[in-house]
Amino acid sequence: MTSALFAPLPLRAVTLPNRVVMAPMCQYSAQPSGPEAGVPNDWHVQHYGSRAVGRPGLILVEATGVSPEGRISPYDLGLWNDAQEAGHRRLAALMRAQGVVPGIQLAHAGRKASTGRPWDGGGALAPDAELGWQVLAPSPVPFEDGAPRPETLSPAQVADVVEQFAAAARRAVAAGYEVVEVHAAHGYLLHQFLSPLSNHRTDEYGGSFEHRARLVLDVVDAVRGAVGEDVPVLVRLSATDWVEPEGWTGDDTVRLAGMLRDHGVDVVHVSTGGNVPDATIPVGPGYQVPFAARVRHEAGVTTAAVGLVRDPEHAESVVADGEADLVALGRELLLDPYWPVRAARELGADWSLPPQYDRAESLARRDTRVAV
C-alpha cells in the first residue's frame, strides 16, 4: 500500500520525509527575565526531542517572539539575541539528528501580549505589573473587556516590526532551522492588522483590504529576503474570525493566499479564529479542513490543514483526497509523541522508530521474552 500521508514533499531546497507536521504549541516554560529570558531550556530539549523521536516530517517550534514585547507571555521563547539563538541551535540539531526537518514559527502577539501562563490563571498583565509591559496593536482596541488599552503602532514602529521579523528569520536560519513560519493567525499582531474588527486605522495600513494586508506582505518580503531562496517560508492564517460578514472571512483568506503565493510563500497553514473572544466556533473533527481545501484549490497554493485531525485514516484521506498537502497535529502529539509511527503502521507505510526503540517494538511484536 502506498500512503499519501507518508509520501515526501519537496519544498524549495528542503524535502519533508512525510506530510505529518507538529503544529506550534506554546509551552510557556522559558525563564521570564534575566539573561536566560526566552532561551530554550531543558524542558524544551526533552519536549521537542521526544517528538522528534516520533518522527513527523516537520516540527514547527512554538510561537517565538521576535521582540520582548512581541511575546504572548513573559515565559515564551524568543529569538532576538545571541543566547536565544544558541539555545535554538541545540533544538534544531536534535530534530535533524532524527531525520525530522526543523522549523520555527516567528510571532508578535500585539494586543494579546503580556499575559500570564494558562495554568496560573492566564489573563492580561497590566503594564505596571510584575513581568508585564505595554502592549502594541494596529488600533487602541483591547482584545477583551478589562484588558489594558493597546498603544497604537506608529508607521515607524510598524517598520520596526518588519525588521524584527527579518532579524529573527536570519537568526533562525543561522541556528539551523530549515523552515520558517510567519504567524499571522489566532488574533496576534499580523492577524490584528488583517481584520477590520481589530484594525481601525485610516493610513496605508488600514481601511481597504489591500491596506490591511500590507503589513503581512511587508513581513513576508522581509523574511524571504532574510532567509534566501532555498528556505521554505510558511504563513499561518486564521481563515475566518467566525464573525461574518463584519470580520475576516474565507473569501479574504483565499484572496490573501494568492498574494502570499506571488510573494514567495511556499505553504499556507490554515487555522481559524482567535481574534475576538466571543466568536461561536463549530469545533469538531476536521472542522478547519474545508478552509484549507478551499485555499488549496482556489488560490493554487500548497496548504497545511490543522484542527482535530486525530485518526490516521482521517489524516490519510485529507492528503489523498486533495484537501491539503500536509496535516498538522497539535494536542494529539502532546498525548502521543509516537503518533506518526503508529499512523504509519496502521496505513501500511514504511516509517519506524529510531533503532534504539524499534528493537523493543520488534520484540514486542514477536511476543517473545528476550533479554534486553
What are the angstrom distances between the C-alpha of 318 and each of 30, 89, 263? 35, 33, 26
Closest CA to 45 of 113, 7, 1, 102: 102
Residue in 155, 180, 168, 162 with CA at minimum distance from that of residue 218: 162
φ, ψ for residue 305, nearest 5 deg: -100, 145
Measured distance between the N- and C-terminal CA atoms of the chain, rounded to whole angstroms: 33
Q: DSSP labels for 306-321?
A: ESS--SHHHHHHHHHT
The H-or-E segment that residue 237 falls in is: strand 233-238
Q: Look up 28 and say whether it is catalytic.
A: no
Taken in order 65, 67, 71, 74, the sign of the CA dihedral is positive
Q: To which residue does cell 539555545 refer?
A: 87
Q: Which residues pair with 327 in a beta bridge?
A: 20, 305
Q: How far apart are CA 124 and CA 145, in angstroms?
A: 10
Q: How far is CA 103 from the centre of its chain?
A: 9
Give the whole-angstrom CA distance, residue 30 versus residue 226.
26
Peptide bond into 245 cis (omega under 30): yes
Distance CA 178, CA 103 (A): 6
Fill in the DSSP letter of residue 112: G
> 3-state DSSP call for residue 21?
strand
Using DSSP, state whether 345 is helix, strand or coil: helix
127-to-18, 136, 145 alpha-carbon distances in Å:
44, 11, 16
Catalytic residue among 188, 205, 287, 357: 188
* Catalytically annotated residues: 188
